[in-house]
Amino acid sequence: MMLSTSTTAPHMVVAVTGDVDVATAPELREHLYQRIDEGTRSVVVDLTGVDFIDSVALGVLIGVLKRLRAVDGTIALVAPHERLLKVFRMTALDRVFVIRPTLDAALAALDS
């Protein structure tokens, strides 16, 4: 897994590439928690480059959501591929997260 972080004021965008699973999810969690602890309040996690996501990774995203809500923050996910959307639908997390097919759509959802 690779992480790339950028800022589209006032949002932090974390692009994730590769597999997000039991071996790599802790790195994602630490990366996001550190940014939240440093004051980031609006996060977009771009999963466009993700090939596989498991339940541990979903748990990390839920933890990030809870941490952001505790500080009046927001999160949106970019998930353009059906293979990822299917995982979010099967777990009903599509009702919990703002999920959009493009980065621009996710940023717009956070701005509205």
DSSP string, 3-61: EEEEEETTEEEEEEEEEESTTTHHHHHHHHHHHHHTT--EEEEEEEEEEEE-HHHHHHH
| Tokens read off for 20 | 């997000």
Q: What pLDDT score does 46 carry?
A: 98
Q: How far apart are CA 33 and CA 37, in angstroms?
A: 6
pLDDT tens column, 44-88:
999 999 999 999 999 999 999 999 999 999 999 999 999 999 999
Q: How far apart are CA 88 and CA 75, in angstroms?
A: 15
Which burial class, exposed, middle or buried, applies to 97 when counting CB atoms under 10 A from its CB (0-12, 13-18, 19+)?
A: middle
Domains and CATH numbers, the chain: 2-111 (3.30.750.24)
pTM above 0.75, yes or no: yes
State the pLDDT confidence band at 112, using cuts at 50, 70 and 90: confident
